[in-house]
Amino acid sequence: MVMSLLSTLSMGRTGLRVASTGLSVTGHNVTNATTEGYTKRTLSTGTRDPMLRNGMSLGMGVQSTGVQRSAERMVNEQLVDAVGNESRSSTAYETLSAIETYLDEESSSSVANQLDRFFDDLNELASDPGSFSLRDQAVNSAESFSDSVLKLSSELQDSRDAILSELEDTMTEIQQKVNQVAVLNAKMADAGGITGGDYADQAGALVADLAEAVGASAHFDLDGSVTLMLGGHAVVSGAEAREIEVTTDTSGNPKVTLSSDSATINITSMVGGRWGGLMDADDEVAAAQADLETFADTFATDFNATHAAGLDLSGTAGIDFFTFTAGDAANSLAVDASIVADSSLMALGGATGTGAVGDGENLTDLLALEDTDAFSGGTQTPGEFLSSIYRGIGEAIREYELDTDSYGLEMADLQELRDSISAVDLDEEATELLAWQAAYQASARVITTASDLLNELMGVVS
């Protein structure tokens, strides 16, 4: 009998211990309810091994059998991918939207509007080719036009520089997070699963950050450790992390490499997330830059060729109207200084003309350039080609906006699904708290009851 009461006391103690652990797990859940990446824990319990006596099996109380993380690996891995995709498209959308303002669509200083104004002034000049005021006006608008090309080109380059700066500036932080994942993997391995839950959550939060930053994908192992991948290449495997580096290629485009002791791999095209979005935007801007260069070079070359075929007011053959550096026209386009100083050098007269003030034969040829299909393989006028640059950026923004909406929905769905599995619900935890409190009180009652009986028994014996 004494032995049995002592067993009951012991049994009550196991109840207190488990209830105390349960309260601790609930407290952990409640205090981490808003922690990013935290996964709800559940204490599982089981009966202790029974005591066999006199042919009977006597229960020995309760024990904790483990703390489970309520996580679904597949959902978490899908969510990581969705975060990377959403981040990539939203970054490209936001970056290009900011760059779009440089096109100055509503401003009279836009390249497209300045080109129109230049030709309008040339058309007006055609009414009186000998007029110095109209010649000066046309030269002024030509200067404004070339300035607008330089301004846009400079702004596009500034945008690309800013993109590269952001990639370089965030490289250290990203590498630190990559290294931290490897450290956490090592800790999880060392802990042998005992404290793996918290490390796994910390690693999960870092993975989410890295998915957003560089589009990393992840494979979560059963022990909670993470294998971090970028485009099929392991960035973190176990306790080993590889170096991610941002440089530029020979053309000045951003280049991302992954290096280990043995090799360096170019993973530029495989990077996603914010970096991928920035590089997508950079690609669009680079394409616009190249188109602007084509536009400036072709237009100035054609204009100069036609201008050179005419005669100026003194009957001399025309000089180059525009000056520019070959291969860098968009950054160097300018009206020839001597023409700016003396608009009589505008060669508006016909080559076979007499140099008369009203000879606008060559001006007619210059005006025809506005409607000449000299671009895109002879299919577009200068204005149409310029519009295609504007349209290209506009279409890219719309595309990334739609992608952002689509990936955003997918991410929200997966986040909801992940939360439905892993998030802490305060109502549930309050209920758990009450349950563990009751369990604790009940176990305490078992102990006090057994203690009372033991005291009673001791009184009888004494």
Partner 1 sequence: MSIIRTTHFSRLSMLAGENSKLSSRLSKASEVAATGLSYSKPSDDPGRVGVIHSVREQVADQEVWKDNASWAENILVLADESLSGMTDVMATVKELAVQMSSDHYEAWGMTDAVEQATSALESMLAYANTNLAGRHVFAGASYDSQAFDDTGVYQGDTIEPEIPVGDDNSVLGGFDGSRMLQGTTDVFKVVNDLITALGSGDSDNVVDLLDDIDDAQDQLISAQAEVGAEMLKVEDAAELASSLSSNLSQTLSRLTEADQVESYAELMKLQTAYEAALQVTAASNVGNLFNKI
DSSP secondary structure letter of residue 370? G
- Is residue 27 involved in binding partner 1 (CB under 8 A)? no
Nearer to partner 1, 194 or 438 (CB): 438
Among 367, 374, 442, 444, binds partner 1 (CB under 8 A): 367
For residues 110 and 286, give the distance between their C-alpha atoms in angstroms, rounded to a whole number: 19
Q: Which is nearer to partner 1, 130 or 193 (CB)?
A: 130
In whole angstroms, what is the distance from residue 168 CA to residue 92 CA? 17
266 contacts partner 1 (rule: CB under 8 A): no
Assess contact for 348 and 159: CB atoms under 8 A. Answer: no
- Compute φ and ψ for 108, nearest 5 degrees: -70, -10
SS3 (DSSP) at 300: helix
What is the closest distance, in whole angstroms, from the C-beta atom of residue 187 to partner 1 in the complex?
27
Residue with smaller CB distance to partner 1, 393 or 450? 393
**What is the b/e burial string over 349-387, where b = at least 16 CB atoms within 10 angstroms of the residue's CB?**
bbeebeeeeebbbbbebbbebbeeebbeeeebbbeebbe
The reply to whether 413 sits near partner 1 by the rule CB under 8 A is yes
Rule CB under 8 A: say whether 364 interacts with partner 1: yes
Six-digit token string for 350? 């016909």
114 counts as binding partner 1 under rule CB under 8 A: no
Task: Determine which helix (DSSP H) or strand (DSSP E) holds 63, and give its type and residue range.
Answer: strand 62-69
Specify the length of the chain in residues. Answer: 462
Q: Which of 229, 346, 424, 446 binds partner 1 (CB under 8 A)?
A: 424
Q: Which is nearer to partner 1, 34 or 462 (CB)?
A: 34
- Name which of 126 and 162 has its Cβ closer to partner 1: 126
Where does this chain touch partner 1 (CB under 8 A) — which range of 46-54, 159-167, 296-304, 380-388? Answer: 380-388
Quick check: 133 binds partner 1 (CB under 8 A)? no
Count how many Cα atoms sit within 13 Å of the Cα of residue 116 in the half-sphere of its side chain: 11
Q: How far is the CB of 163 from partner 1 (least distance, A)?
A: 18
The dihedral built from the CA positions of residue 177, 39, 43 and 222, taken in this order, carries a sign that is: negative
Residues in touch with partner 1 (CB under 8 A): 33-34, 96-97, 100-101, 103, 105-106, 112-113, 116-117, 120, 123-124, 126-130, 349-350, 353-354, 356-361, 364, 367, 371, 383-384, 386-388, 390-391, 393-395, 397-398, 401, 408, 412-413, 415-417, 419-421, 423-428, 430-431, 433-434
